[in-house]
Amino acid sequence: MATATFHQSIVSLASPSSTISQCGFKIDSSLSFTSKKINFCKIKAMASVSYNNTLLSPSKTIPENSLKKPNEAALILIRHGESLWNEKNLFTGCVDVPLTEKGVEEAIEAGKRISNIPVDVIFTSSLIRAQMTAMLAMIQHRRKKVPIILHDESEQAKTWSQVFSDETKNQSIPVIPAWQLNERMYGELQGLNKQETAERYGKQQVHEWRRSYDIPPPKGESLEMCAERAVAYFQDNIEPKLAAGKNVMIAAHGNSLRSIIMYLDKLTCQEVISLELSTGIPLLYIFKEGKFMKRGSPVGPTEAGVYAYTKRLAQYRQKLEEDSEVICP
């Protein structure tokens, strides 16, 4: 019986921690050439250990790793579908409310758009609306791998959620929840109606709270504060996975994703304030040679566009087509 835990099969490395300042928030300088190079060697070594530990069944499994160069990976960002408080027009922030029926449909639709892009690891916030979105999206995926939430909150939780089959692990996708990807904390606005708040404090004031870069709502987080924790988490935990050639999906929130997009697209504080994200629309980036290339929103599975983004994705699709009778009867 295999004894390695599901957690152990995931490559996890910390990035260098020196910081540079951009638009008033500190970001980790993991893009510095020397440190990146050192980390990359470590990542490659660990990734190959993880791969060798996995029992593959050649007749039924596409060797995804063989289709990827370690320095190229896909990054999918999805803002959660409509929540019950989005529907009621209430400030939500870190209050943990579920999706509406429309939100469930949006998540399923998002899943269809990315159903042919291989996903190796999923990051979500710790909030149910992002987790529901990730799970619902993944049940649409062609590969039918099972997304499994990792419970790292205690040693016991880790021990009790172990998986003892390498083959089963190979048919699973780890889902890593992180509070750092949560929606920005909306302070004393949480639970208030957005329209009524605008009538009470004035449209201008409420617009500043919602869309300025560095003005926090009362006792809440500004976008700058949200970016500080979301981008640091991205650099320390997500970027190393991409550098190791893992395809990553992030299901999170309007403002935590705006923060991350600000970092990926090198937006200024002025540019980010006009960035709006729709619920349930996936955005694709390709990470190659340390750079993020924006590829927009993938189209539905019947259209070819998304595969042209990289040769590897095109090869993956071809392999899927060839093996589809075995994998997706």
Ligand X SMILES: O=C(O)[C@H](O)COP(=O)(O)O
Binding site for ligand X (CB under 6 A): 91-93, 183, 186, 210, 253-255
143 among the known binding-site residues? no
Q: Which residue is nearest to ligand X (CB)?
A: 92
Residue 158 token pair: 């880790």
CA 176 to chain centre: 9
> Which CB, 165 or 195, lies closer to ligand X?
195
186 among the known binding-site residues? yes
> Which CB, 15 or 259, lies closer to ligand X?
259
- The residues that are catalytic are 80, 183
User: CB of residue 129 vs ligand X: minimum separation in angstroms?
Assistant: 9
155 among the known binding-site residues? no
81 among the known binding-site residues? yes
Counting beta carbons within 10 angstroms of the beta carbon of residue 4, is it exposed (0 to 12), middle (13 to 18) or buried (19 or more)? middle
User: CB of residue 183 vs ligand X: minimum separation in angstroms?
Assistant: 5
User: CB of residue 219 vs ligand X: minimum separation in angstroms?
Assistant: 15
Residue 306 token pair: 């998304």
> Which CB, 123 or 307, lies closer to ligand X?
123
Residues 230/125, Cβ–Cβ less than 8 Å:
no
User: CB of residue 279 vs ligand X: minimum separation in angstroms?
Assistant: 9
Q: What are the backbone dihedrals phi and psi of residue 158, each rounded to the nearest 5 degrees, phi first?
A: -65, -50
Residues 70/47, Cβ–Cβ less than 8 Å:
yes
User: CB of residue 34 vs ligand X: minimum separation in angstroms?
Assistant: 38
Residue 281 token pair: 């629309």
User: CB of residue 124 vs ligand X: minimum separation in angstroms?
Assistant: 15
Residue 34 token pair: 């020397």
85 among the known binding-site residues? yes
SS3 helix, strand, coil % of the chain, rounded to 5?
45, 15, 40
Complete DSSP assignment for 180-195: GGSPPP-GGGTTSBHH
Residue 285 DSSP SS3: strand
Q: How far apart are CA 228 and CA 249, in angstroms?
A: 20
**Interior CA angle at 54 toward 76 and 72, to 5°?**
35
Element (DSSP H or E) covering residue 318: helix 311-327
CB neighbour list of residue 140: distance below 8 Å, 6 or more residues apart: 108, 111, 112, 115
> Which CB, 244 or 257, lies closer to ligand X?
257
179 among the known binding-site residues? no
254 among the known binding-site residues? yes
> Which CB, 142 or 253, lies closer to ligand X?
253
> Which CB, 4 or 97, lies closer to ligand X?
97
**Binding site residues for substrate, as ranges?**
79-86, 92-93, 129, 183-186, 194, 210-211, 254-255
**Binding site residues, as ranges?**
79-86, 92-93, 129, 183-186, 194, 210-211, 254-255
